Chain A
Amino acid sequence: AQSVTQLGSHVSVSEGALVLLRCNYSSSVPPYLFWYVQYPNQGLQLLLKYTSAATLVKGINGFEAEFKKSETSFHLTKPSAHMSDAAEYFCAVTTSGTYKYIFGTGTRLKVLA
């Protein structure tokens, strides 16, 4: 079985500061990992994904994440936060052998002016 844990249900950063959202996974087989963003009253949009190729993955809007097998982590970063980054962020895991994507509990990012 797979699972993901997101540390920190709320994260606040100043505009222009580094964004770091944490995700740790558990999987008995090689995982596929994702970060999704949800803006208020909208569906989820894919930011980036890891599917066993390069361990450093770049996504949309300047976000990137690094897959670290030794730490079972897939943390999301952005060098400089923008006000428009304020949203809910979800880490998710699946594997090639399952028909489900398991989501973390989400992290609400607040960007302070």
Chain B
Amino acid sequence: DTAVSQTPKYLVTQMGNDKSIKCEQNLGHDTMYWYKQDSKKFLKIMFSYNNKELIINETVPNRFSPKSPDKAHLNLHINSLELGDSAVYFCASSQKWDTDNEKLFFGSGTQLSVL
């Protein structure tokens, strides 16, 4: 079983459209994240959720709205897509406050191309 799974793997869309990316983890972790990786491979945190509660919002435009229906799921909805949103989006999870198991588990990424 895949530990952190996200769908779709590829997303090609026009400017101005609205799209969603879904993420699920079966590790029982309390904390989930969205990271954006740009064309230069730079990884930047976007959001962090702990037990369905938003903990971190790293000055992401409000066109991006994460939603966590339960602690195993963290979805990302993007309104009015812009060219600059083209990137690879990674979902991840971790079990914070557990030193022995402190690490991030990543999904395989969603490559978003805005035309």
Contact = CB atoms under 8 A, between A and B. Distances in A.
B103 A46 contact: yes
Identify whether the interface residues of A are mostly helix, strand, loop, or mixed.
strand
Contacts of B107: 43
* Listed residue (A42, A43, A45) with the most chain B CB atoms within 10 angstroms of its CB: A43
Contact of B106 (A32, A43, A106): A43
Q: Report the contact-size class of chain A (Cβ under 8 Å from the partner).
A: 20 to 34
A41 B100 CA distance: 29
A49 interface: yes
Contact of B96 (A92, A99, A105): A99
Given A49-B103, A51-B99, A88-B41, A99 B55 contact: yes
B43 A51 contact: no
Given A99-B48, A99-B50, A43 B108 contact: yes
Contacts of A32: 99, 102
Given A43-B109, A90-B43, A101-B45, A96 B90 contact: no
Interface of B: 4, 31, 33, 35, 40-45, 48, 50, 55-56, 58, 90, 92, 94, 96-97, 99-100, 102-109
